[in-house]
Structure 1
Amino acid sequence: MMQKQQFNEQLFDFLAASPTPFHAVYEMRGRLQEAGYIELEEKSRWHVKAAGRYFIVRNESSIIAWNMPASGELSDEGMRMVGAHTDSPCLKVKPNPETVRQGCLRLGVEVYGGALLNPWFDRDLSLAGRVNYSTESGELRSELINFVQPIAVIPSLAIHLDREANKDRTINPQTDLPPILAQLHGDGKADLRELLKQQLLAKDVADVDQVLDYELCFYDVQKPSYIGLDNEFFASARLDNLLSCFIGLQALIESDTEQGALLVCNDHEEVGSASAVGAQGPMLKQLLERLLPEPEARNRMIANSMMVSVDNAHAVHPNFVDKHDGNHGPRMNGGAVIKLNSNQRYATNSETAAMFRRFAQLEEIPLQSFVVRSDMGCGSTIGPITAAELGVKTIDVGVPQLAMHSIRELAGSEDAVGLTQILRRFYSSESV
């Protein structure tokens, strides 16, 4: 198990290289390949072997990696599963986004997920995502792009022109959020698709003929960094939930286990998970059907399995303590959080919580609990969705954080490495 400093430095590198789900999966693919995992194509016939390590990618935005047990027998041993999601709230570019007003080129955006919008103002923004294009020979291809440099900004309206800004300011996503990219002169025009083509050519993608479509989002170029007098915290974009993706990935790669172990990182959790690559879609179920085509054997495997859904939890905010139940306000650097909700917004039950607590005890890692105030609504995760789709016993856990769904979030520098240690123990457990 790597030390905290080394772990967090690698985490920072991963976060900085992953401005979109496409880039996150690309980074995870590379790390898996370095660790000896073999990529399988879903459209091809598979020949998996006992003790083999494999992964699949769908839509370039969701990924499943797994270890086959040394015995090759999944029905009796089951699969130790960890789940997370690759997407984060953001501003996505519309299909025909270009508008020019007062000589400024702007791009129209659509809010993806439950983004906290105020922090997006006055940030140095860049643009990244996937571009689909045709070649000069007529082939259809795709490529990931990242402008890297700050190319856009959403300036705030000066308080002199909005005297009530600090009292009751609301944000209209249609009119207030289009980022400014350039100042045009005369009758100057700009074509985003042409800009994307030039970006592809700059990457030495030489046979680009026409950009046909894209999935792009703006992101804050500020790098992850430590915060606090003693580096108690770290701040970054997309901690929810790339932090959990990295934790699950490291735990899987580091687990020296002969047991069946699996990591699934789905896209589209922030918008409900109902897609071909979301947790409510068939991706994980179809994988398990391919590994065990016979229904009875597969059902036995699921009965012998367990899922740990990893998604960040709400740490208690020192300025807003009354937003938490008095006995269930987890603190940053206080350990991973078990999330519970009697209305099944989280999938935790006493059996799965007891198992997870035992893994933490064996690693001597502290745990905390989160239950939402009884007079407030509760968010949810991929945990209940996966439990309902597969029928697998499930627990919801996560690292406590502040500023969830902001453009820049905050977490404790101790918690991620601790949760990784627990998950590594879970992956190596002989029975669940």
Structure 2
Amino acid sequence: MSEHPGDFDRSHTDDLAAFIAASPSQYHAVASAAERLEKAGFRQILESEAWDGETGGKYVIRSGAIIAWYVPRSARPETPFRVAGAHTDSTNLRVKPRPDSGAYGWRQVAVEVYGGALLNTWLDRDLGIAGRLALRDGTTQLVAVNRPLLRVPQLAVHLDRGVNENGLTLDKQRHMQPVWGLGGVDEGALIRYLAHEVGIAADTVTGWDLMLHDVQPPAYLGRDREFLAAGRLDNLLSVHAATAALAAVAGQDLPCIPVLAAFDHEEIGSESSTGAQGPLLGTVLERSVHARGGTYEDRQRALAGTVCASSDAGHAVHPNYSERHDPTHHPMPNGGPILKVNASQRYATDGVGRGLFAAACERAGVPWQAFVSNNAMPCGTTIGPITAARHGITTVDIGVPVLSMHSARELCGADDPHLLASALKSFLAG
């Protein structure tokens, strides 16, 4: 993918494409991020063990979330943090506890819709399956079938003559169940198949967290290949950018402690032990302070100076639906990251946060754009307001403008991932 016209260095975007392809689930995304951090000198520490106050890069993994941080040599217990926040999960179809179903001689997999997915984009696509298997001994095993295995078939136009005039209506229960074979319902077939794929005995599998994904790989698109089309840009693009930024600043003597906080379950509200609503980030920051000999007072002083950049996908202006956007705010691909603002605090940005982010972009030589929703079109939200409220820290919401958000396959500018990573690198350096 690295051969393309133009002078802009897209090696970062090439690596993003590889990261997305290797991360069909949030568990794979965490493993991919950890692999890159290990190469940068970070080491994993366990939450169940005592932490030391040594300098250097460290990270913890909890299920589908990863928190990583770098402690400079000059860090004191009250040294503030700079947090790059993101989320590892994406909207998709998730496998139910009793997955094997079917009707009329078709074998199917029972799924439920996760998050606010654009359902029609999952129709008639070649789908794989990925996630993790929980084993009898308490461990988990990653699994990923990246070949065409399943398909959610759309009803032919001959059997729905008014579909193009009246619109497509999909029932999440009746119309979204994929086919994957012929024959009667075979209880246990899916788990037997996946266990065989990873080389373990099916009777050792006691649970699973599995989801479907489009197996079409990321690709450059456009006359000059100025776009990147891929699944899970929301929000693996930000996870990858923040990971790259943290790895880039590690080793420097910084005035702050840079942190990557990539959470699970953002697409369904973040209320979990691995979501931004949970205690994970606060616990890690507190233990980091205490490991360096800090007190409660030192922790409060550190948080008082802490800033978080919540990075998530945003909306590029849509050429076919421009009336849905604010008339004076039209973010464009390859125009640099966007600064998200919402007066009702659906985004956490305020004037102070805006100034901090603008300064980081200026230092990095990165252009940036402003985003605000049309007053008649309520916007979504991110981990930003949650992080600001839960930890009492200054938070700014940023991201990259995309088209087709929450589709099985989204679109962004091919230069924007690098621009976002450069801005986050400047931000994390303090």
Match of 1:130 in 2: 132
Q: Which amino acid in 1 is paired with 2:46?
A: E
SS of residue matched to 2:10: helix
Match of 2:87 in 1: 85
Question: How many Å separate the matches in 2 of 1:351 and 1:416?
Answer: 25
Alpha-carbon shift at residue 296 of structure 1 (Å): 1.2
Cα distance change, pair 269–202 in 1 and its aligned pair in 2 (3 A): closer
SS of residue matched to 2:24: coil
Match of 1:295 in 2: 296
Match of 1:379 in 2: 380
Question: How many Å separate the matches in 2 of 1:160 and 1:200?
Answer: 40
The Cα offsets for residues 325-366 of structure 1, whole Å up to 9 and x where unpaired, read as: 111110111111000001000000101101111111122211
Cα distance change, pair 340–44 in 1 and its aligned pair in 2 (3 A): same
The partner residue of 1:282 within 279, 282, 286 is 279
**Alignment length, in residue pairs?**
416
Structure 1 unmatched ranges of 5 or more: none
TM-score (ref. length: structure 2): 0.94
Match of 2:240 in 1: 246
Match of 2:160 in 1: 162
Match of 1:200 in 2: 195
- Aligned: 1:423 with 2:419: no
Q: Which amino acid in 1 is paired with 2:275?
A: G
Alpha-carbon shift at residue 208 of structure 1 (Å): 5.7
Give yes or no for contact 2:348–2:396 (8 Å, CA) kept in 1.
yes
Alpha-carbon shift at residue 47 of structure 1 (Å): 1.0
Match of 1:120 in 2: 122
Q: Which amino acid in 2 is paired with 1:28?
A: A
Question: How many Å separate the matches in 2 of 1:208 and 1:33?
Answer: 32
Alpha-carbon shift at residue 211 of structure 1 (Å): 1.9
Alpha-carbon shift at residue 308 of structure 1 (Å): 0.4
- Aligned: 1:10 with 2:15: yes
Question: How many Å separate the matches in 1 of 2:309 and 2:427?
Answer: 9
Give yes or no for contact 1:201–1:208 (8 Å, CA) kept in 2.
yes
Match of 2:47 in 1: 42
Cα distance change, pair 195–373 in 1 and its aligned pair in 2 (3 A): closer
Question: How many Å separate the matches in 2 of 1:310 and 1:54?
Answer: 21
TM-score (ref. length: structure 1): 0.93
Alpha-carbon shift at residue 90 of structure 1 (Å): 0.4
Alpha-carbon shift at residue 285 of structure 1 (Å): 0.6
The Cα offsets for residues 152-189 of structure 1, whole Å up to 9 and x where unpaired, read as: 101110111001111222100100000001012xxx44
Q: Which amino acid in 1 is paired with 2:60?
A: I
Match of 1:190 in 2: 186
SS of residue matched to 2:135: strand
Question: How many Å separate the matches in 1 of 2:299 and 2:276?
Answer: 19
Give yes or no for contact 1:49–1:72 (8 Å, CA) kept in 2.
no
Alpha-carbon shift at residue 219 of structure 1 (Å): 0.7
Give yes or no for contact 1:194–1:211 (8 Å, CA) kept in 2.
no
Question: How many Å separate the matches in 2 of 1:194 and 1:99?
Answer: 10
Match of 2:359 in 1: 358
Alpha-carbon shift at residue 4 of structure 1 (Å): 2.9
Structure 2 unmatched ranges of 5 or more: 1-6
Alpha-carbon shift at residue 210 of structure 1 (Å): 3.0
Alpha-carbon shift at residue 300 of structure 1 (Å): 0.4
Question: How many Å separate the matches in 1 of 2:97 and 2:278?
Answer: 25
SS of residue matched to 1:148: strand
The partner residue of 1:220 within 200, 214, 224 is 214
Give yes or no for contact 2:8–2:415 (8 Å, CA) kept in 1.
no
Q: Which amino acid in 1 is paired with 2:114?
A: Y
Alpha-carbon shift at residue 112 of structure 1 (Å): 0.4
Question: How many Å separate the matches in 2 of 1:154 and 1:218?
Answer: 11
- Aligned: 1:265 with 2:262: yes
41-50 or 261-270, larger mean C-alpha shift: 41-50
SS of residue matched to 2:86: strand
Question: How many Å separate the matches in 2 of 1:319 and 1:162?
Answer: 26
Alpha-carbon shift at residue 3 of structure 1 (Å): 6.6
Match of 2:310 in 1: 309
- Aligned: 1:338 with 2:334: no
Question: How many Å separate the matches in 1 of 2:400 and 2:102?
Answer: 43
Match of 2:34 in 1: 29
Give yes or no for contact 1:133–1:208 (8 Å, CA) kept in 2.
no
419-428 or 344-353, larger mean C-alpha shift: 419-428
Cα RMSD (Å)? 1.5
Question: How many Å separate the matches in 2 of 1:159 and 1:303?
Answer: 60
Alpha-carbon shift at residue 147 of structure 1 (Å): 1.5
Match of 1:255 in 2: 249
- Aligned: 1:410 with 2:406: no
